[in-house]
Amino acid sequence: MERSKNILQTIKEYAIPYYKHTYHTKFSAQEIREKLLQHVDTKERSFFSKIFGASSSKKDSYQGNIDGDTFKIHRVKKGKNSNRPVILGTITPSVNTTQVHVVMRLPYFNALSLVIWIGVLIYIGLGDATPANFTDANIYFLLFMLCFGYLVTTISFNYEASKTKKFLKQILQPVVATHESDWIIRN
Residue 160 in domain = yes
Q: What is the pLDDT of residues 25-39, one digit of tens each?
A: 999 999 999 999 998
Q: What is the mean pLDDT of the chain?
A: 80
When pLDDT is averaged across residues 6-34 and rounded to a whole number, the result is 86
Task: Give 150-157's long-range contacts (Cβ < 8 A, gap of 24+).
Answer: 152/83, 153/17, 153/83, 153/106, 153/110, 153/114, 154/14, 154/15, 154/16, 154/17, 156/81, 156/83, 156/84, 157/17, 157/83, 157/84, 157/85, 157/106
Residue 4 in domain = no
Residue 130 in domain = yes
What CATH number corresponds to the domain at position 148? Answer: 3.30.530
Q: Given this model, what pLDDT does residue 182 score?
A: 47
Cα radius of gyration rounded to whole Å, the chain: 21
Residue 55 in domain = yes
Residue 121 in domain = yes
Residue 163 in domain = yes
Question: Per the structure, how many domains does the chain have?
Answer: 1
pTM summary value: 0.78
When pLDDT is averaged across residues 66-93 and rounded to a whole number, the result is 87
Q: Given this model, what pLDDT does residue 9 score?
A: 76
Residue 87 in domain = yes
Tell me which residue range forms the domain holding 118.
Answer: 17-178
Task: Give 70-75's long-range contacts (Cβ < 8 A, gap of 24+).
Answer: 71/36, 71/40, 73/36, 73/40, 74/107, 75/160, 75/163, 75/164, 75/167
Residue 105 in domain = yes
